[in-house]
Amino acid sequence: MHYFDIVVVGAGLAGSTAARVVAEKGKKVLVVEQHRHIAGHCHDAKNEAGITIHTYGPHIFHTNNKKVWDFVQQFSDFNCYQHHVLSYAEGRFIPFPIHVDTINEIFGTHIPASEVSNFLAEQVQSSKFTNPPRTFRDAIVAQVGEKLYELFFENYTRKQWGRDPSLLSAEVAARIPVRANRDGRYFSDPYQGIPSRGYTAMVQAMLEHPNISVLLGANWFELKNGLNAPLTIFTGELDKFFDFKHGKLEYRSLKLVLKTFNKEHYQSASVINYPNDYDWTRITEYKYFLDEQSPHTTVCFEYPKPEGEPYYIVMTKENIARREHYMREVETLEKTGRWLFLGRLAEYKYYNMDQVIAAALQKVGTI
């Protein structure tokens, strides 16, 4: 086998970022990817209608980390896309996340933005929850009160996670934005957008370096005995690496149903959430992301499911306890200097795309 300084397991954002950084330091890198494509879950491709489809559901890049933004700008221009979401509730399409317009729409009020914090504080005061929050339900109700929780979060969470919100960790709710202003964008980070030629092209540019070789459609678990590199950077599933010795970690998956229509637009926003109606959680209309022009439009219906491609970690007490056992093993291996575990699957951790890149830059920066 050709000699490599570093083997990277996985060609998603974590693996591709790590590979690029170490390749620029003169290391010979082999990237081993089980899928027949690069870019992991942010893989995208144009369909017959000329619309760029995100293969594993919508990915919107946003960050407040200038170092991360500068890094990705080396590999792609970005379309200046600002993400807006609606939520279908009580038979209406309501702006989401919760901000002053949402509140006025739901409660029939006319409060100014300056009164949002006080209004929500009153909602919280008249609600029942455990403080400090112990569960997902507690964490949301502690921010917005019971009415808004029930309308936007309770049933959406049941669909998304397949269990009662009171069984999920409060940490899951840390990602939910609430605004005391008129900013209707889903993200308020200073840097946001979609790579103008798509994520796959951006990752392709990352991996285009004379020191990087990529092996697609290859199972590292079957090849590993022949790959004796001084360092392996693993970005795959944590429990699988250790042969499930501390038990199986749980993931939620998705069934994605794509439909193309002979019309300019299907809906009035790129993403519409369906917390209380229908079996899907949301519908994404992809042509909004890159302002693509076509007489057709393609939308994606998302149906959560318990098995399949691992999309989301499930933050229950049992899974968090199992993760701790595995992470102790990771610590021992990383101390040898021969292993690094990086990314959403390998750390069994919530990461946005920019956080994955930031972690990769930080972890491999000293190699």
Any idea which residue has 């890149």 for tokens? Answer: 357
Helix, coil or strand: residue 78: strand
SS3 229: coil
Each residue's pLDDT expressed in tens, for the chain with a length of 367 residues? 458 999 999 999 999 999 999 999 999 999 999 999 999 999 999 999 999 999 999 999 999 999 999 999 999 999 999 999 999 999 999 999 999 999 999 999 999 999 999 999 999 999 999 999 999 999 999 999 999 999 999 999 999 999 999 988 888 887 677 888 888 899 999 999 999 999 999 999 999 999 999 999 999 999 999 998 999 999 999 999 999 999 999 999 999 999 999 999 999 999 999 999 999 999 999 999 999 999 999 999 999 999 999 999 998 889 999 999 999 999 999 999 999 999 999 999 989 999 999 999 999 988 8
pTM across the whole model: 0.94
d(CA 14, CA 25): 17
Do 341 and 334 form a contact (C-beta atoms < 8 A)?
A: yes
Q: Any residues with CB less than 8 A from the CB of 107 and at least 6 apart, and which?
A: none
Q: What gap in Å lies between CA 169 and CA 136, rounded to an integer?
A: 5
pLDDT at 182: 86
Crossing angle of helices 13-23 and 199-207, in 10° steps, is 30
Residue 154's pLDDT is 96
> What are the tokens at 134?
């112990």
Q: CB neighbours of 341 closer than 8 A, spacing ≥ 6? A: 234, 235, 238, 241, 330, 333, 334, 347
**Given this model, what pLDDT does residue 32 score?**
98
Nearest to 169 by CA among 355, 333, 317, 335: 317
Q: Report how far residue 56's alpha carbon sits from residue 231's, in angstroms, rounded to the nearest whole number.
A: 30
Of 269, 274, 267, nearest to 89 (Cα)?
A: 274
What is the set of domains in the chain, with CATH numbers? 6-81+191-246+315-364 (3.40.50.720), 98-175 (no CATH)
Q: Answer for the pair 291, 258: CB distance below 8 angstroms, yes or no.
A: no
Could you report how far apart the first and last alpha carbons of the chain are, in Å? 23
Task: From 156, 157, 155, select the one nearest 168 (Cα to Cα).
Answer: 157
Q: Is 201 exposed, middle or buried (0-12, 13-18, 19+ CB in 10 A)?
A: middle
